Amino acid sequence: MNTQNVEQAYQYCLNMAKTHYENFPVASRLLPEHIRKPVSVIYAYARTADDYADEGDMNDADRINLLDQMGDNIHSIYSGEAPKETLYIAIADVIKNHKLPREPFLDLLTAFKMDITIKRYKNFSEIKNYCRYSANPVGRLLLHLYQQATIENLAYSDAVCSALQLINFLQDIMQDYHENNRIYLPLDEMEQYGITEEDIKNSRNSHEMRNLIDSQIHRAETMLRSGMPLGKILKGRIGLELRTITLGGLRILQKLEKNREDVYTRPRLNKLDWIWIISHVILNNQQPVTKATA
């Protein structure tokens, strides 16, 4: 494969990682330099699939067709065919150099197809199953990239990634509903707390809605903390990156918990938040930050 084409492909992925806003760092300078490019490739792949599922005015059949084409490209790479498109040139190089498994790439596509075809989830088991495809594959690919994909580490990673996905759901309640007609709150728990779809549609900030969100915050925090040992298992800058991400998740949960007047406000991490996060990472002091754990 042409070296110049490969470098151009990596630069394409790095640019995508830099130009899209994310609450959590992507291919940050906390990572060793030789890891940043492969991480940006995984991000670019997921970002592309996400855009196919959500962006533009395509109908559902066309969206699914594009995701199927992504899957065909992945299968072709593993069959030994040389890709021609920029993104897949980078993916093929990462797969070759780091011996990444095929399944997580395909699992991500399953999640984005679910985004297109499934708009409501009956219970938390269904939401957790969605996280298995939407979030967990990214962590698994990263562990393979770091050559740390032990059974124990994969379990910790799944917990962290699923928790971060739940946190994103809590941040994006209104965006998911109004832009994509999706609700990622369990329907049975909504009913338990007396919350209807109309409450979400009209952004009603009732005591019942606050209680429902508090329960989701507690669940996400419990799950996130259960995976936090991975941040100490992974040594060096990789562990530092993971601790930064998990503390970023806890900080967002704190902001969500403080939104007593408006559960629909989307919190973002600012400079003061990042100072707090980095200082706690350095001090290795991951203390409870929400009332749920007080």
Question: In this predicted model, what pLDDT tens digit does every residue of 96-149 receive, in sequence order?
Answer: 999 999 999 999 999 999 999 999 999 999 999 999 999 999 999 999 999 999
Between residues 241 and 198, the one the model is more confident about: 198
CA gap 44, 123 in Å, rounded: 31
If you count them, how many residues does the chain have? 294
Average pLDDT on 70-74 reads 98
Predicted confidence at residue 11, as pLDDT, reads 92
Q: Nearest CA to 155 among 241, 228, 101?
A: 228
CA gap 187, 91 in Å, rounded: 38
Take residue 167 and report the two structure tokens written for it: 């946190």
Question: Which one-letter amino acid corresponds to residue 17?
Answer: A
Predicted confidence at residue 20, as pLDDT, reads 60
Average pLDDT on 6-32 reads 72
Question: Which one-letter amino acid corresponds to residue 293?
Answer: T
Q: Nearest CA to 26 among 47, 3, 6?
A: 47
Domain 118-294, what architecture? Answer: Orthogonal Bundle (1.10)
What confidence category does residue 288 fall into, taking pLDDT thresholds of 50, 70 and 90? very low
The whole-angstrom distance between residue 13's C-alpha and the CA centroid of its chain comes to 17
Q: Does 194 have pLDDT greater than 70?
A: yes
Predicted confidence at residue 23, as pLDDT, reads 46
The answer to whether 1-104 and 118-294 have equal CATH topology is yes
**CATH H-level superfamily of 1-104:** Farnesyl Diphosphate Synthase (1.10.600.10)
- Return the sign of the alpha-carbon dihedral for residues 19, 25, 27, 31: positive
Cite the DSSP H helix spans in the chain.
Answer: 3-19, 33-54, 60-78, 86-98, 103-117, 124-134, 136-145, 151-171, 173-180, 187-192, 197-201, 207-227, 230-233, 236-258, 271-283
Predicted confidence at residue 89, as pLDDT, reads 96
Q: Does 62 have pLDDT greater than 60?
A: yes
Average pLDDT on 53-80 reads 95
Q: Does 78 have pLDDT greater than 90?
A: yes
Q: Which residue has the tokens 């088991």?
A: 125
Q: Nearest CA to 75 among 47, 95, 50, 49?
A: 95
Predicted confidence at residue 287, as pLDDT, reads 46
CA gap 44, 10 in Å, rounded: 10
CA gap 11, 14 in Å, rounded: 5
Q: Does 76 have pLDDT greater than 60?
A: yes
Q: Does 289 have pLDDT greater than 70?
A: no
Most confident of 59-68, 244-253, 258-267: 59-68
- pTM, to two decimals: 0.88
What confidence category does residue 292 fall into, taking pLDDT thresholds of 50, 70 and 90? very low
Predicted confidence at residue 169, as pLDDT, reads 97
**Mean per-residue pLDDT of the chain:** 90
Give residue limits of the domains in the chain: 1-104, 118-294
Most confident of 6-20, 99-113, 253-267: 99-113
Predicted confidence at residue 29, as pLDDT, reads 55
Using CA atoms, how far residue 113 sits from 60, 71, 165, 224, 248, in Å, is: 9, 11, 16, 26, 28
Supply the Cα-derived Rg of the chain in whole angstroms: 19
What confidence category does residue 268 fall into, taking pLDDT thresholds of 50, 70 and 90? confident
Predicted confidence at residue 286, as pLDDT, reads 47
